[in-house]
Amino acid sequence: MTSSALKPTLTVLVAISALQPLALNLLAPAAPALSRHFASSYATIQLTLTLFLVAVALTQLVSGPLSDRFGRRPCVNAGIALFVVGSALGAMAHSIEELLLARILEGAGSGSVFALSRAIIRDTASRDEAASQIATVTMVMVIAPMIAPWLGGQIETMFDWRMILWFMTVIGVIVLLLTLARLPETAPNVGQRTPLLGVFRAFPTLIVNRVFVLNVIAVSTSSAAFFAFIAAAPYIVVETMGRGSDVYGAYFIINAAGYMIGNFAMARLVIRIGAPRMVYLGLAISSVALTIAVPLALSPAWSPIMLFLPLALSAIGNGMTIPGSTAEALSARPELAGSAAGLMGAIQLGLSALMTVLISWLVTVWPPSLVVMMWLLTVIGLGAIYLGRRGAAPHA
C-alpha cells in the first residue's frame, strides 16, 4: 500500500473507469444507421459489440501483468491513447472492416484501463478500504451506461453516427490529459527487473490461491447474472409481455437504482463490518430475491413489475457483492494486484459473454429461463463465498 499522498482522486478513478461502459453503450443506438451506411447485415454490425468485448477480455490478461512490472501510470496512459486512436479511426472509417478494427482498438484501450483502475485502488488502500472505494467509484460511474444509449441516440439523430465516435475521441483526449496531470504511480514493484514473459508467471500462483479463486467465482457469477438480465429482459418485456421498449427503459431505472443503493451500503458499512461479511450478505440478499422471482416468473400473470421488483432487490445485493469480492480477490496477493485484476476481469467478462449468448437463445424457447439462470448463478456464487468463509484467513 502506498502513502496517502500518492492516492489518485475520485475524479481520476471515475474518469478512467467510465471509458469502457461509455464506449460500449454509446454506439448501440446507431446500429440501424450503421447497417444502412455500410450495406451490411444487422448481425455483422453486432460484431462492433462482440469484438469490442473480446478485445476488452483479452487485453486485461496482458495489461495487468505488464502494469505490475512497468507501472500502472504508463499502462493506463497507453490504454487511453489506444482508445483515442481507435475512436478517431472509427470516426473516419470507410468500410465495415475499418470500423470493426477501430472497435477492437477501443475495446483494448478501455478494457485495460478499466482493469487497472481496480489495481490502482488496491495499491493505495487496505482490503476493506479498497472495497469501499470500488463501491464509491462504481456508484458514480454506473450513471455512464444509464445515459450512454440515450446520449448516443441524441448525437446520431442530430448529427450522424460518425459524430458519436468523434465524441468518444474528445472524451478520450480529456481523460488522457487528466491522467497525465493527476495520476500518480502506485504499483509497489515498478522497475523490478524480471524477464518479460516472467510477468505472466503470476497467473499459476493466482489460480491456486483459494481466496482469489472463490471470490472470482462470486464476482463472475454476479456479473454474468446481470449481463444475462441485460440481454434477455428486453425480449421478455417486449415480446413475451407485449409492452413497449419504453416500458423496459423505465423499469430498468429501478434496477440501476438498486445497484447504486448496494454500492452506497458497501461504501458506508464495509470498514465497520468487513468485506467478507458484506459480500456474503449481498449474495444472500440476491439469492432470496431470486428465490422469490422464480415462482413469479412461472405465474400466468407475469408482468413487468413482477419481473423487475425482485430483480431490483437482487441488484442491491449485487451492488454489495461485486465491489466487495473484487477487493477480496485483489487482496489475495496484493503485490500481484495488476495481474489479479487482469485475470479476474477476463474471467468475469468471458463468463458474462457466454451466459449472454446462452440466455439469448434460451429466453426465446422458455422466457422464465432468465430468472432461473440468474438464480443458479447467484447460488453458485453464494456457495463459493460460503466455502471461502470456512477456510479463509483474515488479511488486510
Dump pLDDT digits (tens) for 17-66.
889 888 887 887 787 788 889 988 766 777 887 788 888 888 888 888 88
Distance CA 224, CA 357 (A): 11
Distance CA 322, CA 380 (A): 14
Distance CA 277, CA 64 (A): 27
Q: With a cut of 50, say whether residue 298 has pLDDT above it.
A: yes
Residues 6+ apart with CB under 8 A from 382: 218, 280, 283, 284, 286, 287
Distance CA 19, CA 108 (A): 11
Print the SS3 string covering 226-293.
Answer: HHHHHHHHHHHHHHHCCCCHHHHHHHHHHHHHHHHHHHHHHHHHHHHHCHHHHHHHHHHHHHHHHHHH
Residue 181 CB neighbours (<10 A) = 8
Predicted structure pTM score: 0.77
Cell of 209: 490461491
Q: What percent of the chain has pLDDT over 70?
A: 92
pLDDT of residue 170: 97
Domains of the chain: 4-193 (1.20.1250.20), 203-391 (1.20.1250.20)
